[in-house]
Amino acid sequence: MAGRDNLIRLVESKAFQNTIIGLIVFNAITLGLETSDAIVAEIGDLLHLLDRVVVGIFVVELLLRLVAQPVKFLKDPWSWFDVLVVGISLVPAAGGFSVVRALRILRALRLVSSVPGMRVVVSGLLRAIPAMTSIIALLGLVLYVGAVLANQLYGETAPDRFGHLGDSLFTLFQVMTGEAWPDIAAEVMAAHPSAWIFFVLFILASTFVVLNLFTAVIVSFIEPQPEQPSPPDPTLLAEIRALREEVAQLRADRGGGPAPAPRPSSVES
């Protein structure tokens, strides 16, 4: 039991966690260096050796966490995420699994589970997904209606942008992101001077309204929720009521007059 307690203190210590975070960052840097042919030609063997050493440390870290707190490890979804990411690195990068070698960079995503701030942000994003479904549907509806309308109005003027529904959808998605939309609008306005009304209304509806709703929903789920006050304990209320009655009776006995009615407690109200 003492050995497990020491192991728990080890895996939960700040030094241990900071070491793992440092190794994740170091491994991400070495994997980035492997993208340079010149660096690989000079120190490629060293980079591969460092990669194997880091993977071995990650495996040992997961085993230590599993042995120290097996129940907590198995119930924690972030632990399963770490197992998946490290497990991909253990798949042999040969034959049909050669593509797995490119997925080693996914180990950098372990920063999400290791850094508490990132974990809070990602958890908030995941909790916000159900609430964002309606916003996504609304955005798709606005985009679809705008694409059909643009195809009917400007399909002949700019066939490469609005001649087909698919082209119109892609063009308006580009306009929604703010990428080169003045050039697109100018091209259409050369034949339709009033086309600016369509583009301004579309940008207002899609970008300034719908997309900002995404931000509002995500922020609301990331911000810490205020704690709800717990209801008063009935036993405590009864004790306070009895104590007040006793105090009122003592005052009445001492003064010889009727006991004043006890005032309602703020806790009771």
Residue 264 has pLDDT above 60, yes or no: no
Residue 146 has pLDDT above 90, yes or no: yes
The pLDDT tens digits of the residues spanning 191-239 come to 999 999 999 999 988 888 887 887 888 778 776 655 555 666 677 777 7
- Give the model's pLDDT for residue 243: 82
Instruction: Determine the CATH number of domain 119-222.
Output: 1.10.287.70
Residue 170 has pLDDT above 90, yes or no: yes
From the list 54, 35, 57, the residue with the least C-alpha distance to 44 is 35
What percentage of the chain reaches a pLDDT higher than 90?
13
- Give the model's pLDDT for residue 215: 80
DSSP letters, 83-142, are HHHHHHHHS--SGGGGGGGGGGGGGGGHHHHHSHHHHHHHHHHHHHHHHHHHHHHHHHHH
CATH fold for the domain made of 2-114: Four Helix Bundle (Hemerythrin (Met), subunit A) (1.20.120)
Tokens of 175: 């306009």
- Mean pLDDT value of segment 115-143: 83
Residue 262 has pLDDT above 80, yes or no: no
Domain boundaries in the chain?
2-114, 119-222, 232-269
Residue 27 has pLDDT above 60, yes or no: yes
pTM for the structure as a whole: 0.57
